[in-house]
Amino acid sequence: MAPLSLTPTSWPPPSSSTVDLFPSVSPISTASSPPSMDDGGLEEREIDWSKDYSLGFGMEFDIETDAYDFYKDHGKVMGFSVRTNQDAAMEKAISIVMPDVTHGLCTFHLQQNALKHLGHLYKDDSDFGKNFSACIFECIEEEELVQVWDALVKKYDFNENMWIKKTWGLGEKWAHAYLKLSFTTEMRST
């Protein structure tokens, strides 16, 4: 069986082109036998979690449990996130079973719900979809999000629209401005 591969890389990228995560340990060859405790193998590797590591390709593990343990440890440091539709029962269950995860709303479902509630605007105004998507994906700072959202509410006279009010109330679960520091591997939908 081929080894599993994961690569921690630092962000922002260092000035050099390579990152040596384990300078005292030589790379693991797929042809070699699994490292042992005596030769500085996987079991002795200590990862400096004060650095911001992201998973990627390149790091090899000879056995699946080592990859699993690495990912589990990585998750404890970076945190996990879950995406769901606006299901109240699911939200309650997540808060009980996984209290430490970031619970975000699936952007695909959010856009589908917008289409369901405001579909006429997608047909009548070609800019609505673009403006709504900008609120979800493009506003990086909270002030920018508030400004763009307020302009959207004003342009389309959404002051009394209950779906818009409810959606804005859940903004910390879908807006990039609020989720940008959550570990999501850039996945925003289910």
CA atoms within 13 A on the CB side of 29: 4
Pairing of strands 102-105, 81-84: parallel
- pLDDT score of 6: 41
Residue 49 lies in a domain: no
pLDDT of residue 155: 93
In a domain, 117, yes or no: yes
* 120 domain residue, yes or no: yes
Identify the pLDDT of residue 117. Answer: 92
The answer to the question of residue 43 being in a domain is no
The answer to whether residue 7 sits within a structural domain is no
Instruction: Tell me the β-bridge partners of 105.
Output: 84
Identify whether 96 is part of a domain. yes
Burial of 53 (0-12, 13-18, 19+ CB in 10 A): buried
Please state, in angstroms and rounded to a whole number, the distance separating the CA atoms of residues 130 and 95.
Answer: 32
Predicted confidence at residue 107, as pLDDT, reads 82
Angle at the Cα of 131 from the Cα atoms of 109 and 90, rounded to 5 degrees: 20
Residue 64 has what pLDDT?
Answer: 84
The total domain count for the chain is 1
Q: Taking each helix axis as running N to C, give the angle between helix 126-133 and helix 107-124, from 0 to 180 degrees, rounded to the nearest 10.
A: 150
Domain boundaries, position 122 = 64-178
Return the number of other C-beta atoms located less than 10 Å from residue 181's C-beta: 8
The pLDDT assigned to 163 comes to 94
* Mean pLDDT (10-residue bins), the chain, 190 residues: 42 39 41 42 53 61 81 68 74 79 81 91 82 89 94 93 93 81 59
38 in a structural domain: no
- Per the domain annotation, does 131 fall within a domain? yes
What pLDDT score was predicted for residue 96? 85
